[in-house]
Structure 1
Amino acid sequence: MRKRLAFVLAAAGLLAGSVTAGAHANTRGPAPAPASTKEGTVTAAQLLAKVQSCSQISSGKYRTDEETSATVPVCGANGAVFWKADMDIDCDGQVTSRCNGDTDPWFQDDTAFHQSDGKPLVADTLPYVVVPSPSSTWDYRQAGIKGGGVVAVIYNNKVQYAVVGDTGPTAIIGEASYATANALGIDPDPETGGAESGVTYILFKDSSVSPIENHDKAVSVGDGLAKQFVQNN
């Protein structure tokens, strides 16, 4: 699935040290094995049962892609916010054999939030989710969501825990890292992969994983928060 070209073009030049296409091998498969084969104890059905209805907290709705109409609200719940959308593939961050200027025509070598060593995140090994940049429609920061916050991503009866790792366009929603897609059985190719619909993102308020790159910690923290979410909603 194409990434959000308008946003990437707008960001071009703002990120230093862009990677030149041709500098790295174009590796498109097979994808690396998911970092974790078991993502907690709370099932997809348990989580989805709690997000059947939406109490909209965004002042408007989001598009899932540049060419679509705005149909996706951000919804509020006890201890979390959530939305249901598609999944575009974010391959931005550190250059790897699978995420670079060859494999991703819109590649940017930075992410909004960084590892504990100050470097950008690694999209093909770290499950992370992209949130819309703050706007009059919705500001994730005012909802208790921050970089490193824990997210439960649900697709095809699978639950994958991730962190808030990057920001995207102000009008578009529904994007996650290569590693997130791969773990959920979604084609992670940044140019042609993704899921057209059926992805639920539950972001837990006031949560954080430190260091942000520790996926095992995201799973353990996320599992506890998911249990609370199911009990309290």
Structure 2
Amino acid sequence: MLPAHASGPTPSAPTSAQEGSVSAADLLAKVTSCSQISSGKYKTDDETSATVPVCGKNGAVFWKADMDIDCDGQRTTNCNADRDPWYQDDTAFHQSDGKPLKAESLPYVVVPSSSSIWNYSGAGIKGGGVVAVIYNNKVEYAVVGDTGPTKIIGEASYATAKALGIDPDPATGGADSGVTYILFKNSKVSPIESHSAAVSLGDQLAKQFLRNN
């Protein structure tokens, strides 16, 4: 029992990236073992060996990898060609007004482009789909916002990293390991650029995921 004067953080307190009502521990408990659905495994970086499978669960796919920082899309203060040596001014999926996404302000995840290893769309994963990103006991909801190299996995936007307490610098930031990505099949946030819609749908799908697995 908490002493009378102690109170937990109010929901508006930005002390943690915990979004929604489902804990990181509860989600991680459902993804301890992997039923591999990819034909092969992915590298986390160009220079590493391929060790990461895409795993299937009831209603979702998941992988455990690192987090590289994606700063692609609309040019902003921290996401531009000066700050990011690999900057591209477009994303695979676009906002409702047709413009590229904003990596600096929108939490999104990058999926590997379709290849013989794995075809994300064939697995029910689409642009705007909801992803629960878990790191350091925090849950951040994001959308599928961009596609990346065919052989590398483990990348998310500047905003995703920042919310999870990971250094978001596109040139030097990221996390070497410990990031779990759970992508909910056949989900779609509308409009894709609404983070609050992603959190709301993500929380609902996370609860369903816990019930069904």
TM-score normalised over the length of structure 2: 0.92
Show the 5 A alignment for 1:185-224: 185-224=165-204
Shift of 1:184: 0.1
Question: 1:15 maps to which residue?
Answer: none
User: 2-side partners of 1:38 and 1:191: how far apart?
Assistant: 26
Shift of 1:105: 1.0
Shift of 1:38: 4.7
> Per-residue displacement from partner, 1:27-64 (whole Å, max 9, x unpaired)?
xxxxxxx8x95510000000000000000000000000
Task: Kindly provide the amino acid, as one letter, of the partner of residue 113 in structure 2.
Answer: S
Task: Kindly provide the amino acid, as one letter, of the partner of residue 96 in structure 2.
Answer: S
Shift of 1:65: 0.1
Does structure 1 residue 178 correspond to structure 2 residue 169?
no
Aligned to 2:180, what secondary structure does the other structure show?
A: strand
Query: Which of 42, 46, 51 lines up with 1:62 in the alignment?
Result: 42
Question: 2:103 maps to which residue?
Answer: 123
Question: 2:147 maps to which residue?
Answer: 167
Unaligned ranges ≥5, structure 1: 1-33
Shift of 1:132: 0.2
Does structure 1 residue 84 correspond to structure 2 residue 75?
no
User: 2-side partners of 1:208 and 1:106: how far apart?
Assistant: 28
Question: 1:21 maps to which residue?
Answer: none
User: 1-side partners of 2:50 and 2:87: how far apart?
Assistant: 25
Task: Kindly provide the amino acid, as one letter, of the partner of residue 89 in structure 2.
Answer: D
User: 2-side partners of 1:37 and 1:139: how far apart?
Assistant: 30
Does structure 1 residue 50 correspond to structure 2 residue 30?
yes
Task: Kindly provide the amino acid, as one letter, of the partner of residue 39 in structure 1.
Answer: E
TM-score normalised over the length of structure 1: 0.84
> Per-residue displacement from partner, 1:76-103 (whole Å, max 9, x unpaired)?
0000000000000000000001100110
Does structure 1 residue 136 correspond to structure 2 residue 113?
no
User: 2-side partners of 1:67 and 1:133: how far apart?
Assistant: 19
> Per-residue displacement from partner, 1:170-217 (whole Å, max 9, x unpaired)?
000000000000000000000000000000000000000010000000
Query: Which of 93, 98, 103 lines up with 2:83 in the alignment?
Result: 103
Conserved? CA contact 2:17–2:139, under 8 Å: no
Aligned to 1:198, what secondary structure does the other structure show?
A: strand
User: 1-side partners of 2:40 and 2:149: how far apart?
Assistant: 14
Aligned to 1:167, what secondary structure does the other structure show?
A: strand
Question: 1:155 maps to which residue?
Answer: 135
* Runs of 4 or more above 4 Å deviation: none
Aligned to 1:45, what secondary structure does the other structure show?
A: helix
Unaligned ranges ≥5, structure 2: 1-13
User: 2-side partners of 1:105 and 1:59: how far apart?
Assistant: 31
Aligned to 2:145, what secondary structure does the other structure show?
A: strand
Aligned to 1:196, what secondary structure does the other structure show?
A: strand
User: 2-side partners of 1:222 and 1:96: how far apart?
Assistant: 26
Question: 2:74 maps to which residue?
Answer: 94
Does structure 1 residue 227 correspond to structure 2 residue 207?
yes
Aligned to 1:56, what secondary structure does the other structure show?
A: coil
Shift of 1:128: 0.1
